[in-house]
């Protein structure tokens, strides 16, 4: 990390940002930027914008812009840093970056700024991973959860539990080192209390991953139904706009139509599908086959039935495909006289919601049910939801080892048995904070970041 790196951090808007980090960051910016006040940027106060002009290696002006120097250690990476705030055209930013390259600066790799922040102790690994979640958040709720994790909502309690386990292990090591001394029973009692409390906390954190994954990625949701049940009208009503073609001609929808729909804190990745029925049309059949495959892989099925018609054989296909899935039966066309008998639906579905996708009647009830069904009711998002599969796995391993250590402490086993499992938990928690993680894992984590972050 002795070299100095630079990257375009934003582009395509009115303002573009070039970020520089490393021992020569301020020196490199001084070489390409001329302050209007005539002073060198090396003399500029830290964190203060300075107006001037940006120049290429030949001294030709590229842009009128701002520059700021950021002095270590109070920077994002912990190294000397500088930023150029230019006009946002790709041409300007590319020339600015090339001007820095002419001063011996190199192109930053994906995630390298945040990786340097982690390696320089400016943030733990869980906070660094939350930066990626914050960048890629699809909803305001996911962004709030990630922002709280950037500020330590996961890393801080994990570090606290790890420190407490290290302290406990240190006491047991003292006993093991002096085997002739009598072992105070209070030592085992205190250890058991700590391990019981820690095991419960770790399991609770690990089990929050399923909700956290849904918050971050959304729920794959498929709308199923026979032709003309009102599937496309439902999609349009959910979106609040005309996305799918709606006609009274069966088989209009032949391919998958995918859209994101926000319902409270829940993001639904909704797929409208071809109507399920027996057909001799090979194109329509291909669409039905795709619908069936999509339904098999989804997490939620909205099974739509035409309330103005009795159930028929095509509806039986919908019932069969919905079996074994988290599903809601939607009796559509409630603006028309009800003909459908609900008795059979009640045998297959826990939730049945009558609506009129055409008029919007009953939609409020459906939109209230869906987040509750998934487990994402409105509530405070304080970063407690684990959204990272790697962290969830490490938390689960730590909980299992703490549980084993608890059993050892309460069943009369020797101190070294308690220590062995507790040290396993400490190592697993260190994978979250970054203290025991391998270089290969660190490389893989930051390779998912964008260049410039």
DSSP per-residue codes, 185-252: HHHHHHHHHHHHHHHHHHHHHHHTHHHHHHHHH-EEEEEEESTTSSHHHHHHHHHTS--S---SSTT-
Of the candidates 374, 396, 421, which is a domain's last residue?
374
Higher local confidence (pLDDT), 39 or 139: 39
Task: Please state at what angle helix 125-136 crosses helix 389-410, rounded to 10 degrees.
Answer: 140
245 contacts: CB under 8 Å, gap ≥ 6: 232, 252, 253
Higher local confidence (pLDDT), 200 or 317: 200
Q: Are residues 191 and 134 part of one domain?
A: yes
Q: What is the CATH number of the domain that holds 224?
A: 3.40.50.300
Decide if pLDDT at 279 tops 70. Answer: no
Q: Are residues 184 and 319 part of one domain?
A: no
Whether residue 255 is contained in a domain is answered as yes
Domain count of the fold of the chain: 3
Whether residue 154 is contained in a domain is answered as yes
Task: Give per-residue pLDDT as tens, 426-453.
Answer: 999 999 999 998 889 898 898 888 888 8
Q: Are residues 175 and 223 part of one domain?
A: no
Q: Which residue has tokens 């300007």?
A: 92
Instruction: Return the H-helix or E-strand segment holding 347.
Output: helix 343-348
Higher local confidence (pLDDT), 269 or 176: 269
Find the length of the chain.
453
Q: Are residues 351 and 229 part of one domain?
A: yes
Decide if pLDDT at 249 tops 50. Answer: no
- DSSP SS3 for 14: coil
Report the C-alpha gap between 93 and 85 in whole angstroms.
Answer: 9
Whether residue 414 is contained in a domain is answered as yes
Q: Are residues 321 and 200 part of one domain?
A: no
Q: In what order do the strands lie in the sheet with 352-354?
A: 257-263, 266-272, 219-225, 300-306, 327-332, 352-354
Q: Are residues 325 and 243 part of one domain?
A: yes
Decide if pLDDT at 246 tops 70. Answer: no
Of the candidates 77, 108, 139, which is a domain's last residue?
108
Q: Are residues 341 and 302 part of one domain?
A: yes
Q: Are residues 219 and 199 part of one domain?
A: no
**What tokens appear for 65 in the block?**
């812009």
Q: Are residues 251 and 164 part of one domain?
A: no
DSSP per-residue codes, 143-187: HHHHHHHHTTTTHHHHHHHHHHHHHHHHHHHHHHH-TTSPPPHHH
Q: Are residues 223 and 355 part of one domain?
A: yes
Q: What is the CATH number of the domain that holds 441?
A: 1.20.120.430
Place 274 in a pLDDT band, splitting at 50, 70 and 90.
Answer: low
**What tokens appear for 367 in the block?**
């939109």
Whether residue 268 is contained in a domain is answered as yes
Give the chain's radius of gyration (CA, Å): 29
CA 418 vs. chain centroid, Å, equals 35
pLDDT at 222: 86
Of the candidates 349, 374, 399, which is a domain's last residue?
374
Report the C-alpha gap between 351 and 405 in whole angstroms.
Answer: 43
Task: Give per-residue pLDDT as tens, 125-137.
Answer: 999 999 999 998 8
Whether residue 381 is contained in a domain is answered as no
Q: Are residues 324 and 235 part of one domain?
A: yes
Q: Are residues 223 and 186 part of one domain?
A: no
72 contacts: CB under 8 Å, gap ≥ 6: 78, 79, 80, 81
Place 106 in a pLDDT band, splitting at 50, 70 and 90.
Answer: very high
Q: In what order do the strands lie in the sheet with 5-10?
A: 33-35, 50-55, 61-70, 81-87, 15-21, 5-10, 106-107
Whether residue 115 is contained in a domain is answered as no
Q: Which residue has tokens 């700021």?
A: 68
The pTM of this model reads 0.80
Whether residue 119 is contained in a domain is answered as no
Whether residue 379 is contained in a domain is answered as no
Residue 104, domain extent: 5-108
Report the C-alpha gap between 419 and 409 in whole angstroms.
Answer: 9
- Across 240-249, 307-316, 363-372, 438-447, least confident range: 240-249
Q: What is the CATH number of the domain that holds 91?
A: 3.30.1360.120
């Amino acid at each position: 990390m002795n070299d100095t790196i630079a990257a375009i951090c934003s582009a395509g808007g009115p303002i573009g940002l070039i970020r520089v980090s490393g021992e020569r960051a301020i020196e490199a910016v001084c070489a390409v930027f001329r302050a209007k006040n005539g002073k060198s940027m090396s003399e500029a106060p830290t964190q203060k914008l300075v107006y001037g002009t940006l120049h290429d290696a030949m001294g030709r002006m590229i842009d009128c812009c701002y520059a700021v120097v950021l002095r270590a250690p109070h920077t994002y990476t912990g190294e000397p840093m500088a930023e150029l705030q230019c006009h946002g055209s790709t041409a300007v930013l590319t020339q600015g970056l090339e001007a820095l390259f002419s001063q011996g600066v190199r192109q930053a790799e994906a995630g390298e700024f945040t990786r340097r922040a982690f390696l320089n102790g400016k943030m733990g690994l869980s906070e660094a991973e939350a930066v990626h979640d914050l960048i890629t958040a699809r909803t305001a709720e996911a962004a709030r959860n990630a922002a709280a994790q950037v500020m330590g909502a996961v890393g801080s309690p994990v570090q606290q539990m790890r420190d407490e386990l290290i302290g406990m292990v240190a006491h047991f090591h003292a006993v093991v080192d002096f085997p002739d001394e009598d072992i105070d029973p209070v030592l085992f009692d205190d250890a058991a209390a700590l391990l019981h409390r820690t095991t419960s906390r770790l399991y609770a954190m690990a089990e929050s991953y399923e909700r956290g994954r849904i918050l971050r990625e959304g729920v794959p949701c498929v709308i199923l139904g026979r032709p003309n049940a009102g599937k496309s009208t439902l999609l349009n009503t959910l979106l609040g706009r005309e996305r799918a073609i709606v006609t009274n001609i069966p088989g209009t929808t032949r391919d998958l139509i995918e859209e994101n729909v926000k319902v409270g804190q829940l993001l639904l990745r909704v797929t409208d599908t071809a109507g399920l029925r027996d057909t001799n049309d090979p194109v329509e059949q291909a669409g039905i086959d795709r619908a069936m495959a999509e339904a098999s892989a989804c997490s939620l099925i909205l099974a739509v039935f035409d309330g103005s018609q009795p159930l028929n054989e095509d509806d039986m296909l919908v019932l069969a495909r919905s079996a074994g899935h988290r599903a809601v039966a939607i009796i559509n066309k409630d603006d028309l006289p009800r003909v459908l008998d609900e008795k059979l639906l009640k045998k297959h579905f826990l939730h049945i919601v009558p609506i009129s996708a055409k008029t919007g009647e009953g939609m409020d009830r459906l939109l209230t049910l869906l987040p509750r069904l998934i487990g994402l009711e409105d509530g405070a998002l304080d970063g407690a939801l684990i959204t990272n599969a790697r962290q969830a796995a490490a938390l689960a391993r730590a909980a299992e080892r703490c549980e084993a250590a608890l059993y050892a402490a309460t069943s009369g086993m020797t101190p070294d048995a308690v220590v062995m499992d507790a040290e396993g938990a400490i190592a697993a928690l260190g994978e979250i904070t970054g203290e025991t993680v391998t270089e290969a894992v660190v490389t893989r984590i930051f390779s998912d970041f964008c260049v410039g972050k």
